[in-house]
A = this chain, B = another copy of it.
C-alpha cells in the first residue's frame, strides 16, 4: 500500500526563545551541527519510505513561506495551512482527508516536525514495522520510546507485554505526565514507553475512529475533504476548520480507541523540548559545557552558551543557559528553563512584543 506522511509544523516552539521567534519557530531552526533545520531533517529521515510528493506539511499560513523555502521539493498543494490552530486531532484529520482525496486509502505516518533522531537506520526499520502492522487491519499504531530515565515531562504508554518477543505490543493505556516516583516505577517495570507523538495508520482507520469518537469533527472534516481540489477549497476550509473543537489526538482518539499497537523505538529520539536538550544533541566538553560561537570561559561548568560573532566571556558560571541573538539576549539558570514561556508573557505585558 502507498505510504504517505503528515508532518505537523504549526507549533510556536516558545521554549527556544530567543533563537525561535513567533516568525521563526523551532522546527525551522538548525540545532545540529549539519546546518539542517529540524523540519528538513524530519523530511530527510522518511525519504527512504515515502516519495516527496506524498509528504504533507500541516502548518499555518504565516509559516507557509518558511516551509516553501526550506522544503522546495514538497509540492505546494501538499502544504496544508490551518486557518487557526485546533490542536492535533483536527490537524491530523485535515491531512487524512487530503490523502484520501489523492489515494482513496494509504498508510499515513504522522510525525512532529521538531524532534531529532540519532539513529536513522533504526528509525526507518521501526517505521517499516509500524507500517506493516497498520496495513494489516484497522489498527492504530504508535511508536513508544524505550525510556532510559524517569522523565516527568512526557506522557507514557503502557504496553500489554503478556505475549513477549513480538515487534509490537497491544496498547493497554495512555497515561498523563507522571510524578517522579511514578515515572521511576514505570521505567523500572519495563511495560511503559514514552509517548513520542508519532503515529502510523491507514487513512481509512483513523477516519473511522474519528467518525466514532469525534463525530462532530469528522463531519466537518468531510465537508473540507469534499471541497479539496475544487474552487471552494480555501473558503470551505476557512469557514469550517475554525468550528472544529480544539482537541489532541491523544485525548480525542488514542485514549478511547481499542486496537492500538505500540512499536518500541530505540533510535535515539529527542523531543528537543527545551534549551536543556542542546547539550544532549551537541555533546559536552570536559567541564560539561556546550558552546557555540565566540565563547571564552574561565571556571565555568555545565553551561550551554549559544552565540555568534560577538565575544561571550564567561567567568565563574555554573549551570546557565545563555543565548545571544542580534536583538535579544537570554540568560537563564538551567533550573528555570521551564520559565522561559513565563518570561515571554512578561515581555508581552511590557509591550516588548517585537522580541517575541
Contact = CB atoms under 8 A, between A and B. Distances in A.
A355 B315 contact: no
B335 A316 contact: yes
Q: How many of these chains are in the complex?
A: 2
A49 interface: no
Interface string A287-330: 00000000010110000000100111111111010101011111
A316 B329 contact: no
A109 to B, nearest CB: 37
A342 interface: yes
Nearest to A334: B316
B316 A352 contact: no
A346 interface: yes
Nearest to A355: B311
A328 B316 contact: no
A18 to B, nearest CB: 7
A234 to B, nearest CB: 38
B315 A339 contact: yes
Given A296-B346, A347-B313, A331 B322 contact: yes
Interface centre among A299, A312, A317, A329 (most CB of B within 10 A): A329
Contact of A329 (B298, B324, B339, B350): B324
Contacts of A350: 296
B343 A330 contact: no
Contacts of A330: 313, 315
Interface residues of A, number: 36
Contacts of A307: 329
A290 to B, nearest CB: 15
A343 B327 contact: no
Contacts of A18: 311, 313
A342 B343 CA distance: 34
A284 interface: no
B329 A315 contact: no
A22 interface: no
Contacts of A320: 317, 331
B346 A331 contact: no
19 contacts: A298-B336, A298-B342, A310-B328, A311-B328, A311-B352, A311-B355, A312-B331, A313-B330, A313-B331, A313-B332, A313-B343, A315-B331, A315-B332, A315-B340, A315-B342, A316-B333, A317-B331, A329-B329, A331-B331
Interface of A: 18, 296, 298-299, 307, 310-318, 320, 322, 324, 326-333, 335-336, 339-340, 342-343, 346-347, 350, 352, 355
